[in-house]
Structures are given as structure tokens and as C-alpha cells.
Amino acid sequence: MKKIVLLFSLLLLVIATLPVYAQKYKTAADTGKLNLEYVKVSNDIAELTAELASAQNKLPDYQAKAKSAESDAQDAASSSSDQASKATNGSVSDAKKANKRAKKAYNEAKGARSANNDVSDQNDKIAKLSSKLKKKQNRLHELDEMRAAINAKL
């Protein structure tokens, strides 16, 4: 039992000190490299923040276009359906009109699907940028901790 407690406490000690040894920048001589990486990460965060804001600002436009395209597709489908019902009891010219409206409805539906795909792509882009931004912010936090550790040694 004593051996298990001793091994467990040793394991906890090793786990607790592991981040200190995993630290990339440890001495005052590494401060220059740390500062360079800090500036690079800060610039990356600024760029990602700008890209994310731009993507989020474009999202309502994509959503509006998708909604409009969907509405147009529904109107074209309704019109096509009405023309098709006329063509069943009508002449050849009615059938030709029904065929044209059916093609238009099909093209409108493809446009609506494309607009919805654009919205989905924009949402994926926002999620990807948010993930990258979070990783960079975590790295910046790690660099701050390394800087504090170096300063504590001085």
C-alpha cells in the first residue's frame, strides 16, 4: 500500500512539473525568440480577427440571397405547376409553355440550392476561422506564461 501511495504521489509530481520542462523558452537568452514569436502570433490573431469579422459581415448577405432564391424557386415551381395543369387539357402551345416554365423552375431550384451551399460554405469558413483564432489565442497565453516564468527567474 505504501508503494502505491509513493508511486501515485511521484506520478502527480511528474505530471505537475511536466509543463515547466515542456516550455520552449526557458532562459533570459530566449527572450528575443519569445518576443519574435509573440509578435508573430499577435499579428496572426489580428489578421484572423479581421477575416472572421469580414466573413461574419458577409453571412447575412448570403442568407438574404439564399432566401430570395428559394422564394423565386417556389414561385417558379408554382407557376410551372399551374401551366402544366392547363397543358393537360390544352393545346400544343400550352404544352410548350409548360415545358419552358418547368425548365425555368428547375434552373431556379438549382440556383436556390447553390445559394444554400454558399451559406453553408460561409458558416464552415466562420467555424474554421474561429477555431484557428482560438488556437492562436491559446498559444499567446502560453507565451505569456513563458514570459512570466522567465521574469520570475530574473
In whole angstroms, give the CA distance from residue 119 to residue 95: 36
pLDDT at 132: 97
Domains of the chain: residue spans and CATH = 2-65+109-153 (1.10.287)
pLDDT at 20: 52
pTM for the whole structure: 0.73
pLDDT by residue (tens digit) across 34-54? 899 999 999 999 999 999 999
The mean pLDDT value for 50-63 works out to: 96
pLDDT at 25: 72
C-beta separation of 146 from 34 below 8 A: yes
In whole angstroms, give the CA distance from residue 152 to residue 26: 11
C-beta separation of 49 from 81 below 8 A: no
The mean pLDDT value for 143-148 works out to: 90
Which H or E element spans position 84? helix 31-88
- Residue ranges with strand state E in the chain: none
pLDDT exceeds cutoff 80 at 146? yes
pLDDT at 16: 61
pLDDT at 22: 58
pLDDT at 74: 94
The mean pLDDT value for 56-66 works out to: 96
The region of weakest confidence among 25-29, 35-39, 87-91, 130-134 is: 25-29
The mean pLDDT value for 65-69 works out to: 95
pLDDT exceeds cutoff 60 at 18? no
